[in-house]
Amino acid sequence: MTFGGFERGQAPSQPMAEINVTPLVDVMLVLLVIFIITAPLLTYAIRLELPAAAAPPAASPGTPITLSIDADGRVYWDADPVAPAELALRLAAAAQRSPQPDLHLRADKATRYEKVAEVMAAAQDAGLTKIGFVTERPAAAKK
Give the pLDDT of residue 86: 94
Count of the separate structural domains present in the chain: 1
Say how far apart CA 131 and CA 65 lie, in whole Å.
10
Residues 121-134, mean pLDDT to the nearest whole number? 91
Of the candidates 98, 95, 97, 93, which has an alpha carbon nearest to the alpha carbon of residue 131?
95
Mean pLDDT across 124-132:
91
Strand order in the sheet with 103-107: 80-82, 75-77, 65-69, 103-107, 131-133
Given a cut of 90, is residue 93 above it in pLDDT? yes
Per-residue model confidence (pLDDT) at position 121: 94
Q: Is residue 40 part of a domain?
A: no
- Does a structural domain hold residue 14? no
Amino acid at 65: I
Residue 27, classed as helix, strand or coil, is helix
Asked if residue 22 is part of any domain, the answer here is no
pLDDT at 40: 77
The β-bridge partners of 132 are 104
Angle at the Cα of 82 from the Cα atoms of 124 and 98, rounded to 5 degrees? 45
Residue 97 has pLDDT above 80, yes or no: yes
Is the pLDDT assigned to residue 5 strictly greater than 60? no
- Would residue 5 count as lying in a domain? no
What's the whole-number mean pLDDT along residues 8-12? 59
Q: Average per-residue pLDDT in the chain?
A: 82
The rounded distance, in Å, linking the Cα atoms of 130 and 109 is 22
CB 75 within 8 A of CB 69: yes
What is the CATH classification number for the domain harbouring 105?
A: 3.30.420.270
Q: Would you report the helix, strand and coil content of the chain in percent, each value rounded to 5?
A: 35, 15, 50
